[in-house]
Structure 1
């Protein structure tokens, strides 16, 4: 957002003008006023005496700018005005604890750049009639400006240093639009995404190797750098209720969320409910939407799984639409700590709560949620001290995926997503866990599932984890039907690959080594390698 501050004297009055895309602030007269101009911008007037009072109090409230908090009056203009003023003067924002702020469908986003305490207040977000479904209700934004670093024309995978000097630590995003990755296969097939990478670089050009560059860039068509805010920003409390849209069930995603686009942010103690879901509805891209930033923590937060609706996919057949309350895209070092959801994590009528793309170093710690998911790749992920429900762990990516002291209730312990090649280039570590497969017509159980025919070009070489370490795993298979032969380490990734006659056009690199220590089953049946012994004949099990 762009700010302009002008201070001068005019007929004995101090005039302050501030521009923030859709907001103008002035200071004259004796009354705080918020109005909408003909061009749609907010015009905010705050007298000089009021400015002094706010500075002395050390905070501003939504009620100071006209919010009613009665649960009926649309308060979005007052809320946006409060944050716009707070952003200029560096003041935190506090909601009134007993207020119920109604937010209708107007196209207005409140920009958050200072600490915000939603406290015990309630927020009703009505999505039944919105002007712009893709607009966030709140956007946590950086005061820093994105810029284009000069002189970087190529990059190598795992490159440790860039030949540049930066004003401070920056989040760098690089794209080569001439190379396509993640060419999706299946009912939602597509032509892939431009090769993209995102990583943190310090002022001397050193790349944070805990989240390394994962692609070779022979050419760079776009590169940007966003300075990382050094001062932490905190958002606390608040109970939010979304009245769900009743739009046609197709891929017209709604945002209407809290979008985090600033680094070094903590969300603590927020609660989000969903009501009004009917027989149809368009999907949501995530109420907590983390993107283009680094070092974000969401903790002690309660979220809600969304109802699953179906539509016709790009291949012409019916598909269930992904719809999320958590979304992470192009973000590094994002943690979810002690987070839960309001509905049953094993109820399949609700879609898995989280989706992500282009993430690095994603963490669940102490969470009870229906799913962890990485669509277009994650570099390094950890699930610990957590319980995951009916959609379990779905991921593709690189680096190390660690699962410790957790209970997994999905159809497999970890599913390597077939629509993106069932690829994990790196290592899988599972320690001190319980796997209790959901039955749902299961006749076989596998720890690691996926599918790869070797006949589709995903835009990259596909790998299984090079090394898999499983230590102290209890497989609770007591609810599996009687003809069950016992759990398999690997699912049958390619039922047609039964002998040497099967030729992969795009060879799948298999696991080299599996280390098993203290793996037990409730049924007493032994862990097998796979139903497809030919495919995994070269795997060394220790």
Structure 2
């Protein structure tokens, strides 16, 4: 239940975009239209926006973008304006460069007609194509039998196979087998974003054209007045939704006000899906207050609520991105979530969390500081963390609800690990849990190889009887003898290489408190 919205939004937003673009806003004279076309720029005031912080300007904003899209004009906000956006079911479609500048946007979520309608939808003007002739795919397949007008994203689904069968307080029956990858016009698959599953059958496969020209969105100071709903899983998408490739968001700010005793969660103010080559930089976002509800297991659970969401997207970079609230304050949920994505990057970011729920293929975190929720991930490929400070419970937590699986390699270089932000805990570098008793829909792996070089572990504040940090947490406290049976075997790490790993406590890094489970791991120490 906790992330059912992720499946829902992907099926609703595309149809929403089509509906919104069919609306017509003929609110200016032919003479005015000619002036705007010659001038090359559209302003919201040209279509009646007041910018007084009181009048609802969403219709004027949507009209300005519709006109700009039709005539390929840039859109600019007025520097001193405050655009109030009320609860109308209206979305502005962005298909041209947009400069929000220093304008303020006040998004009022207290009374909303449609919580699934984005405020802005960044959308390609090109149409997707169904590829009905392709009936199967193989992992790491180099080419698909297709001829396209240009490079494209390929989104593929087999609804007859279930992956990510979730375990824990919010169990699910899984999600349809899914992948997204890049091909050129001849069908050659980009080796940096390969096919990661075998598809014996395909129930849907679509090519989404990649826009070659970069679309730039700059500036803007956005404030969301938070919804006042009961604390239930009714996710709000009142956001900037990017569903176009080659987009740069630069210099945006998002603030939140009015969070009270209860509230429904949010699915990312910056939401990126069905896209490649998207960069968010020089941006300030805000973590959402954590609310508690009753999960599928009829027990209290904290609801995930995000200001960053990445779904079915490739080559997405966050550069010089920070948040307004304390990254170690656990009254706010971890700021980022992602699913079904590849090649994600944090560079020079100060954020409360990096997270990959339903898998990421290849991720990099560098020159960054991550707060109380640290790094949470499952997936495949190479996960690289370098020149960063991690302040979570573990250096990397492999999500137990999806099997703590990482099919590939972890590399940690030139980092500092402050366990639990400096609270008194027994430190473990790699955390997770897998009992071998649950079918997640796929084979679960620990990283085959882990390389840790030049790591400083600040474990100066530790509990009484502390014996030193461990490489691995106790992934399964029941797996302590040869007679233990795993119906769904969990494949253990083969090799760990440690070089220049130091601790503030002066105690040596141990393998694990569960010595039996990790008895066959080869650990090489080069101090």
Q: TM-score range by the shorter chain?
A: over 0.9
- Counterpart Cα distance in 1 of 2:425 and 2:387: 27
Tell me which residue corresponds to 1:287: 269
RMSD: 1.2
Per-residue CA distance 1:102-152 (angstroms, 9 max, x = gap) = 000000000000000000000000000000011100000001101112421
TM-score (norm. length: structure 2):
0.95
Tell me which residue corresponds to 2:257: 275
SS in 2 for 1:77: helix
In structure 1, which of residues 454, 457, 478 is the aligned counterpart of residue 460 of structure 2? 478
Q: Is the 8 A contact 1:439 1:479 kept in 2?
A: no
Tell me which residue corresponds to 2:42: 60
- Counterpart Cα distance in 1 of 2:30 and 2:326: 52
Residue 413, structure 1, aligned to residue 395, structure 2: yes
Tell me which residue corresponds to 1:539: 521
Tell me which residue corresponds to 2:14: none
Q: Is the 8 A contact 1:42 1:77 kept in 2?
A: no
- Counterpart Cα distance in 2 of 1:532 and 1:21: 56
Tell me which residue corresponds to 2:31: 49
In structure 1, which of residues 106, 120, 125 is the aligned counterpart of residue 102 of structure 2? 120
Larger-Rg structure: 1
In structure 2, which of residues 66, 76, 87 is the aligned counterpart of residue 84 of structure 1? 66
Residue 500, structure 1, aligned to residue 482, structure 2: yes
Per-residue CA distance 1:361-390 (angstroms, 9 max, x = gap) = 000000000000000000000000000000
Tell me which residue corresponds to 1:367: 349
Per-residue CA distance 1:454-486 (angstroms, 9 max, x = gap) = 000000000000000000000011122232111
- Counterpart Cα distance in 2 of 1:540 and 1:23: 59
Question: How far 1:46 moved relative to its partner?
Answer: 3.1
Per-residue CA distance 1:166-208 (angstroms, 9 max, x = gap) = 1110000000000000000000100000000000100111001
Q: How does 1:346-361 map to 2 (within 5 A)?
A: 346-361=328-343
- Counterpart Cα distance in 2 of 1:405 and 1:157: 33
Question: How far 1:42 moved relative to its partner?
Answer: 4.5
Tell me which residue corresponds to 2:11: none
Question: How far 1:48 moved relative to its partner?
Answer: 2.5
Tell me which residue corresponds to 1:186: 168
Tell me which residue corresponds to 1:30: none
Question: How far 1:23 moved relative to its partner?
Answer: 5.7
In structure 2, which of residues 343, 365, 378 is the aligned counterpart of residue 396 of structure 1? 378
- Counterpart Cα distance in 2 of 1:442 and 1:150: 57
Question: How far 1:55 moved relative to its partner?
Answer: 1.9
Of stretches 365-374 and 442-451 in structure 1, the one that deviates more from structure 2 is 442-451
Per-residue CA distance 1:205-245 (angstroms, 9 max, x = gap) = 10011011000000000000010001100000000000000
In structure 2, which of residues 208, 222, 230 is the aligned counterpart of residue 240 of structure 1? 222
Q: Is the 8 A contact 1:126 1:242 kept in 2?
A: yes
Question: How far 1:45 moved relative to its partner?
Answer: 3.5
- Counterpart Cα distance in 2 of 1:354 and 1:400: 20
Tell me which residue corresponds to 1:28: none
Question: How far 1:441 moved relative to its partner?
Answer: 6.7
Structure 1 segments unaligned to the other structure (5+ residues): 1-18, 25-40
Q: Is the 8 A contact 1:20 1:84 kept in 2?
A: no
Tell me which residue corresponds to 2:469: 487
Change (3 A) 1:326 1:22: closer
Residue 468, structure 1, aligned to residue 460, structure 2: no
Residue 133, structure 1, aligned to residue 115, structure 2: yes
Structure 2 segments unaligned to the other structure (5+ residues): 1-16
Change (3 A) 1:23 1:441: closer
In structure 1, which of residues 313, 323, 336 is the aligned counterpart of residue 318 of structure 2? 336
Large movers: runs of 4+ above 4 Å: 439-442
- Counterpart Cα distance in 2 of 1:47 and 1:443: 68
Structure (1 or 2) with the greater helix fraction: 2
Tell me which residue corresponds to 2:510: 528
Question: How far 1:444 moved relative to its partner?
Answer: 1.5
- Counterpart Cα distance in 2 of 1:338 and 1:415: 23
- Counterpart Cα distance in 1 of 2:423 and 2:27: 64
Tell me which residue corresponds to 2:129: 147
SS in 1 for 2:36: helix
SS in 1 for 2:26: strand
Tell me which residue corresponds to 2:187: 205
Q: Is the 8 A contact 1:173 1:196 kept in 2?
A: yes
Residue 107, structure 1, aligned to residue 89, structure 2: yes
Change (3 A) 1:22 1:157: closer
Tell me which residue corresponds to 2:409: 427
